[in-house]
Structure 1
């Protein structure tokens, strides 16, 4: 960029326009701002908090941030004031070259509800560049016998600013032989020409020294100058003529360096040095000189650097042919760069949840990500997909943003962790793709009670057992994890023969082993009906029950006892069959 004097008062020219409509569920609408280039770092751009319908303090609370991808970030959020501010120097010419309108797009993310808002900032041109001729001086050779009215092309100045700030006109220093006439071409460019007003005399003055000044039309007018040396020579009455006023060529972006692009050709009907034609770029810019080379003798234009459609898809190159004395002809070479599918899609994860409860409802957002392909046309169209066997779905939202959602309720006991592969594939031939891997843990919820393998149990214990003897063991399984799967055992309270069951049998709460608390007597208790409860340690806890019947087995621990007949009291000896009681 040309050096220039910058006006601090231009900061007063900041114009801000905001268009904010009703918010959609997930789609965003554009917030529009405009700001002059070359402002100081931290300069105010717009009240983003107000335009989002928020208080400044809510920006941090709701996780508001800029998520735009691409070139170095030009703007930042001031969370204290709620303003969008500049994050550094903004050079409109560097961003947009000479485009009539220069717009920077960014996206604002509200993290708490995963909403995206588009922000469009128009960069307003200021007059920060002076016209520049590229070369400080130019020699023009003129035959001394040229007739008044003859015209000679002068070098053109270039001003990267636009509108009124761009090149507005030329001035020529006062002299007695030449005047200045400015022509306007079909492309709107002003072409200065030197007009011979009075006959020349080489013997009187062999060289005429002129100053050509180019000026723009900004608030503070900038100008640039070039020294024009008019050298008088013998007659050269024919200028070179190009075979075409305009050359057009298309080339794929992956063409090898060194390849010949095309050949420009100009002829001159003069003889000797007056008819020898050489070629050069006119108004050459750094970008052109880095990518293309023009052979000054043959007119061959070859590829000098790597072409990239994503950097620029079109080049407008000015060429000129000049003969020995310096007569010139102009032409244009219009180069169209054809896109090749040489860029795989890029996936940028903006928001990600690494864990989700298994009871989360379908439609829960897992991730928000952006896909971008620098290619164009079909090569730049991207389709995102995930494996069909997963309980998730993809939903396209604002612009190139996508959401990864749950498709149904998850079950940790079925799958506790998912490794989700998101594949972004472009429509080029052959297609290019990028895989992004997202890991998701399913957090346990206490949704399963302990379960016994049987609906009921039978156990047996011989009478006269020792106290504390192990009777039976029950086990329940809980498929949940951690404390939700820790099982404890207990007996439902009841009574047997007027005494609580807990005085007959106990159960180890950790192992499920049942113990006899007394020695059983078959003649008194023949079976016990118990209800065993298994409870987990979740919040709230879940439980299940199972019935357990304990049968007391008889042992031969009683001698026979005669109940009938009773012995006579009078000493008789009458015989009858006795009745025994066991």
Structure 2
């Protein structure tokens, strides 16, 4: 050989070999020699891009595809077979990847995750010997859908109010976090309309005079809803504090 062989450039070399004697007249003959160059694993996989960007809704169900990465290998046959894996950044195994297709999918509910961005490193490795590999980064942003229900910081609220409180007295303010504007309402438990909730601030105040002897506990079911129709509920327990507002009364006026 006068130079190195390269399967990817020329995989077959066809030679015509001549043989001749030294007599006169010269006699000669020819033979065709076909040389098949075997491929060896001399190339590494290379991603089409070193960095991928993707976004997906926080309400996307498990199994939803986020993005598909792709690497190419200049080798052929089994030397070019590529397997993909998530090398790092997959906190809590939130995502999975198809080892053959390079498709990254959601494997766990995203609305339960505290973070809104993930930075994954994907590895592509060929299947021959010696093995070669390449890496790329995948940055995934979690979009908060307007269909996401508002989130209350607590499942229940407990508070007290004096029975001598005048109408309009603030009792407690509840709040729910949401990417969209929230409106509050009292769904049930508001006996005789005793309390009022500001639909925009979530502040609950007395709407009527209270009477401990008549009702000492209220359990309000409060809703927080968005214009898109997403809704969450919480319970507000209000305990009325008794005041010394009743004089003792004899059962009999005369003995």
- TM-score w.r.t. the length of structure 2 is 0.66
Mapped pair 1:536 → 2:225: yes
2:136 corresponds to? 436
Matches within 5 A, 1:356-367: 356-367=56-67
- Measured in 1, the distance between the counterparts of 2:154 and 2:65 equals 38
Mapped pair 1:546 → 2:217: no
What are the superposed Cα offsets for residues 280-333 of structure 1, whole Å, 9 maximum, x if unpaired? Answer: xxxxxxxxxxxxxxxxxxxxxx33xx653210134345578999xxx8978788
What are the superposed Cα offsets for residues 105-146 of structure 1, whole Å, 9 maximum, x if unpaired? Answer: xxxxxxxxxxxxxxxxxxxxxxxxxxxxxxxxxxxxxxxxxx
Is the contact made by 2:175 and 2:201 (CA closer than 8 Å) also made in structure 1? no
1:144 corresponds to? none
CA-based RMSD: 4.5
1:394 corresponds to? 98
- Measured in 2, the distance between the counterparts of 1:366 and 1:513 equals 41
Unaligned runs of 5+ in 1: 1-260, 262-301, 397-401, 566-576, 578-582
1:461 corresponds to? 162
2:198 corresponds to? 508
- Measured in 2, the distance between the counterparts of 1:494 and 1:520 equals 15
What are the superposed Cα offsets for residues 470-518 of structure 1, whole Å, 9 maximum, x if unpaired? Answer: 3x2143545xx512xx54433347786xxx42xx533333443333346
Is the contact made by 2:79 and 2:126 (CA closer than 8 Å) also made in structure 1? yes
Mapped pair 1:310 → 2:8: yes
Report the 3-state secondary structure (helix = DSSP H, G, I; strand = E; otherwise coil) of the residue aligned with 1:386. strand
1:346 corresponds to? 46
Q: Kindly state the Cα deviation for residue 531 of structure 1 after the two structures are TM-superposed.
A: 1.6
1:198 corresponds to? none
Cα–Cα, structure 1 residues 395 and 382, in superposed 2: closer, same or farther, change >3 Å? closer
Aligned equivalent of 1:381, options 81, 95, 117: 81
Query: How many residue pairs are counted as aligned between the two chains?
Result: 241
Is the contact made by 1:477 and 1:487 (CA closer than 8 Å) also made in structure 2? yes
Q: Kindly state the Cα deviation for residue 459 of structure 1 after the two structures are TM-superposed.
A: 0.9
Cα–Cα, structure 1 residues 525 and 420, in superposed 2: closer, same or farther, change >3 Å? same
Is the contact made by 2:163 and 2:241 (CA closer than 8 Å) also made in structure 1? yes
Matches within 5 A, 1:65-144: none
Q: Kindly state the Cα deviation for residue 544 of structure 1 after the two structures are TM-superposed.
A: 1.4
Is the contact made by 1:460 and 1:551 (CA closer than 8 Å) also made in structure 2? yes
Q: Kindly state the Cα deviation for residue 423 of structure 1 after the two structures are TM-superposed.
A: 2.3
Is the contact made by 1:353 and 1:440 (CA closer than 8 Å) also made in structure 2? yes
- Measured in 1, the distance between the counterparts of 2:70 and 2:76 equals 17
What are the superposed Cα offsets for residues 405-449 of structure 1, whole Å, 9 maximum, x if unpaired? Answer: 636453233264444444221133321112233333344453546
1:26 corresponds to? none
- Measured in 2, the distance between the counterparts of 1:321 and 1:347 equals 50
- Measured in 1, the distance between the counterparts of 2:218 and 2:148 equals 30
Cα–Cα, structure 1 residues 330 and 372, in superposed 2: closer, same or farther, change >3 Å? farther
Is the contact made by 1:530 and 1:548 (CA closer than 8 Å) also made in structure 2? yes
- TM-score w.r.t. the length of structure 1 is 0.33
Is the contact made by 2:85 and 2:99 (CA closer than 8 Å) also made in structure 1? no
Q: Which structure has the greater CA radius of gyration? A: 1
Report the 3-state secondary structure (helix = DSSP H, G, I; strand = E; otherwise coil) of the residue aligned with 1:379. helix
2:185 corresponds to? 490
Cα–Cα, structure 1 residues 537 and 384, in superposed 2: closer, same or farther, change >3 Å? same
Report the 3-state secondary structure (helix = DSSP H, G, I; strand = E; otherwise coil) of the residue aligned with 1:423. strand
Cα–Cα, structure 1 residues 490 and 390, in superposed 2: closer, same or farther, change >3 Å? closer
Is the contact made by 1:450 and 1:487 (CA closer than 8 Å) also made in structure 2? no
Cα–Cα, structure 1 residues 444 and 309, in superposed 2: closer, same or farther, change >3 Å? same
Cα–Cα, structure 1 residues 518 and 372, in superposed 2: closer, same or farther, change >3 Å? closer
